[in-house]
Amino acid sequence: MAAMKKSGREIKNLLYEQVARIGKAASSPKRLELIEILCQGEKNVDELAGAAEISVKLASAHLKELKAARLVEGRREGKNIFYRLVDSQVADLWVMLRALAEERLLELQAAMRELVSRPEELYAVGGKQLLAQAKRGEVLVLDVRPADEYETAHLPYARSIPLAELKSRLDEIPTGKPVVAYCRGPFCLMAREAVDLLTRRGRQAVRMEVGVAEWRSQGLPLATGE
């Protein structure tokens, strides 16, 4: 027997249901955090669980939901399963959702203000101007994310000194040059901690709220490798 033809309303319902799968996958705060972490590059389940400060079991469950919605994909290497975003559109979705939430939600705006201890700690110049300054050697752009994330993608002319190594590598940072630090994006605290450390040690330092995902979404170039 031939299958019954769906009505127009049934087809519309199905279309909305499929789009809603993306919204469902993105409805968890921890799944959004995992997406942000994966914007930095491929990671295994243990690394993702550690970065998001959740159990491996819970991280695996969240990744299963993201995979079902075709937002992430995994590959097995020995006993480890590595995950990555399916493409840069997923990173763009995260940037768009975060920017929309920050624009519309007063509670998020208040929480963001709590991340700023001093108004002058934020770098206010646009990305193109920063690139020009970094190319001329007028500022030192400092990437304080883990080294593997820097190698996957980073801002042009940026130097990698992970936050965990910054205290022991301060002598690598010129004392007479302004430092612009960045990490994973507006919600990331690593650049804030780096600026606090640098200013306490007499360096002139500010931080950018953007990370590689926001940088890419603005159409600005990224570099890869060491």
Give the DSSP per-residue string, 132-172: HHHHTTSSEEEE-S-HHHHHH-B-TT-EE--HHHHGGGGGG
Judge whether 188 counts as a catalytic residue.
no
User: What's the start-to-end Cα distance of the chain, in Å?
Assistant: 62
Rounded CA gap, 42 and 34, in Å?
A: 11
Rounded CA gap, 21 and 17, in Å?
A: 7
Q: Looking at 34, 158, 183, 212, which residue is catalytic?
A: 183
Structure tokens at 152: 């996957």
Active site residues: 183
